[in-house]
Amino acid sequence: MSVAPEVEKLLREEGVKYEVITHPTAYTAAEEAAVSHISGYEWAKTVIFFTKKGEPVMAVLSASHHVNARLLEDLVGSGKLRLAEESDFAGLYPNCEPGAMPPLGNLYGQRVYVDQRLTEDETIVFNAGNHTEALRMSYADFARMTKPVVGNFAE
């Protein structure tokens, strides 16, 4: 599988310069960072939660951290959040393998929440829609496209 066509189209339309990083198959962000020889602090993982109203939201944080759900709930401001299961992803991320969706909430009509630590790096690396490719781009371009809410919710 290659980079999801919707992702490539979006990046092209937005004029974003990016690099495709091919790596051995891996299924967790920490594994993907390791097999790609990229710091887990630079590799962004996407964790999906649902609000009480069933709205999916993307929490984006370093592969080396975990989501503090209480802090994220405070940031989202919609009450208790439910961590999504892979079975919840069906239909939400077309042309993406389960669990390999890129954190491009603007492409999927979802709000994006980014942990503050990711904003401190010049570049960001994340899944390209599959478990063998990733994208590297400037954090500034990522933020311009996704217009994330930035806060502290990782530990």
pLDDT in tens, the chain (155 residues): 578 889 999 999 999 999 999 998 888 887 888 788 888 788 999 999 999 999 999 999 999 999 999 999 999 999 999 999 988 887 899 888 888 899 999 999 999 999 999 999 999 999 999 889 999 999 999 999 999 999 999 99
CA angle 82, 84, 85 (to 5 degrees): 135
Domain carrying residue 15 = 5-151
Q: What is the CATH number of the domain that holds 44?
A: 3.90.960.10
Given the structure tokens 């495709």, which residue do they identify? 20
pLDDT for 1 equals: 53
- Other C-beta atoms lying within 10 Å of the C-beta of residue 27: 12
Query: How many structural domains does the chain have?
Result: 1
The DSSP code for 154 is B
Give the torsion through C-alpha atoms of 106, 109, 115, 118, to 10 deg.
-20
